[in-house]
Amino acid sequence: MPLVKFVSFTGEETEVHVSAGTSVMQAAMDNGVSGILADCGGACSCATCHCYVDDAWADKTGKPDEVEEQMLDFVMEVKPTSRLSCQIVVEEDLDGLVVHLPESQI
């Protein structure tokens, strides 16, 4: 099972193992990682699961599609590595993925 590491805004790290095929958002919800709200449950409709993909992983997670990109324009403190975590699916090739959480979702 791939490992995902969440780093909170204050630097606190949480490592969780997830089944392949799980989104980064769901991994956070399943394990009670705070800092992600995920109001719409993964429909890419609310932009409350914003995260920053660690620079070392940014290529591997791919780029947001057009809808996600437009949503990201309006999140707090957007950066080039910003993603909606519901749109990143963890497969074996993302074992060890590191994502950083923003100070606030809304």
Partner 1 sequence: MSSDEHAIIIGASHAGAQLATSLRQSGWTGKISMVGDEAIPPYHRPPLSKGYLNGDKHSDELLIRPAAFYEKTDVDLLLGNRVTSIDRASKTITLHEGATIPYSKLALATGAHVRKLESLPGHGLGGVCYLRDLRDVDQIRCYIGTGKSAVIIGGGYIGLETAASMRKMGMNVTVLEALPRVLARVTAPEISAFYSRVHAEEGVRIITDAAVEGIEGDKDVRAVKLADGTSIPADVVVIGVGVIPATELAEAAGLDIDNGIVVDEFARTSDPDIVAVGDCTNHYNPIYGRRLRLESVQNATDQAKVAANTLCGKLEAYNALPWFWSDQYDLKLQIAGLSQGFDRVVLRGDTESGRSFAAFYFEGDKLLAVDAINRPKEFMMARRALSSGQVADPAKLADESVEIQQAFS
Where along the sequence are the contacts to partner 1 (CB under 8 A)?
29-32, 34, 39-47, 67, 70-71, 73-74
86 vs 43: CA distance, rounded Å: 8
Residue among 43 and 80 whose Cβ is closer to partner 1? 43
CB of 74 to partner 1, least distance (A): 4
Contact criterion met (CB below 8 Å) for 106 and 74: no
Residue among 7 and 46 whose Cβ is closer to partner 1? 46
Contact criterion met (CB below 8 Å) for 11 and 103: no
CB of 70 to partner 1, least distance (A): 4
CB of 99 to partner 1, least distance (A): 19
Which residue has tokens 């009670």?
Answer: 32
